[in-house]
Structures are given as C-alpha cells and as structure tokens.
C-alpha cells in the first residue's frame, strides 16, 4: 500500500515526465529562434504532418522521418522552444498540438509558408 496513490491517469498534477516539459509561448520567442526552427527540413515535415490532423492525435513516434529516435526527440524540443508546438503526455506517449493561432499572431505568414510547401 503506497501512501497517497492518486490515480494511474495522472489527472491531478503533472507526472514526473511532464514536469520536465518546458514550453515557450510564441510571444517570448525571438525571430531568430523562430527562423532557425523553421529553416530545418525535418522540422518543417513535422509541422506539415501535424497540421494535417486534429490536435493531440499524433505522438512523437508516429511521424515518418528519415532520422533516428534521438534526432527526432531533439527536433521536437526545438519546435517546443520556438513556440511552434505544445506537448502533452498521455501514458508513455507524448502527444502534440500545432500552436497555429498563437504563432501566427506573433509571426504572421511564417507558418503558412511552411504548411503550403509542397515537399
């Protein structure tokens, strides 16, 4: 019998993993960081795939990317730091959401260029 066992779904309070998740609102992101984030082709692929489906339906591992697991994780961290995506843990998986409106308000047109890219 453990003390203070809340629930296995972690409804209340962040899990140990989620606590390490540092998000950044687009309004706190320098243009330099936004451009750097968007200048990488792998990251643009992530953004486009993410835009093609509803929020919170894509875990990090479900993206079709030509890189290793470690590199993939790195790219998601960059996108998070650039205010381009939001992440939420659900069990062992980490689901993603494109911060479309927020990002577009700070950097109007930039995300649209990425999503319109035929690649």
Partner DNA sequence: TAGAGTGTTCGATGGAGGTCGACCATATGA
Partner DNA sequence: TCATATGGTCGACCTCCATCGAACACTCTA
Interface contacts to a copy of itself, rule CB under 8 A: 31-32, 35-36, 38-39, 41, 107-110, 112-114, 117
Residue recorded with tokens 């629930």? 7
CB of 39: closest distance to DNA in angstroms?
Answer: 7
H/E segment holding residue 36: helix 31-38
Residue 117 touches which of DNA, a copy of itself, none (Cβ within 5-8 Å per kind) = a copy of itself
Is residue 99 near DNA by the rule CB under 7 A?
no
Is residue 94 near DNA by the rule CB under 7 A?
yes
Q: Lay out the site mask for DNA across 18-37 (x = CB under 7 A, - = otherwise).
A: x-x---------------x-
| Alpha-carbon gap, residue 67 to 17, rounded angstroms | 23
CB of 7: closest distance to DNA in angstroms?
Answer: 9
| Alpha-carbon gap, residue 115 to 85, rounded angstroms | 14
Is residue 2 near DNA by the rule CB under 7 A?
no
Cβ atoms < 10 Å from Cβ of 86? 19
Cβ atoms < 10 Å from Cβ of 67? 13
């Amino acid at each position: 019998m453990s003390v203070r066992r809340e629930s296995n779904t972690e409804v209340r309070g962040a899990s140990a993993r989620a606590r390490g998740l540092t998000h950044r609102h687009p309004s706190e992101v320098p243009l330099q960081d936004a451009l750097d984030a968007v200048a990488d082709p792998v990251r643009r692929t992530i953004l486009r795939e993410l835009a093609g489906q509803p929020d919170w339906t894509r875990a990090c591992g479900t993206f079709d990317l030509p890189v290793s697991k470690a590199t993939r994780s790195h790219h998601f961290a960059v996108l998070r730091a650039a205010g381009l995506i939001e992440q939420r843990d659900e069990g062992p998986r980490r689901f993603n959401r494109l911060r479309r409106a927020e990002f577009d308000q700070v950097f109007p047109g930039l995300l649209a260029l990425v999503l319109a890219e035929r690649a």
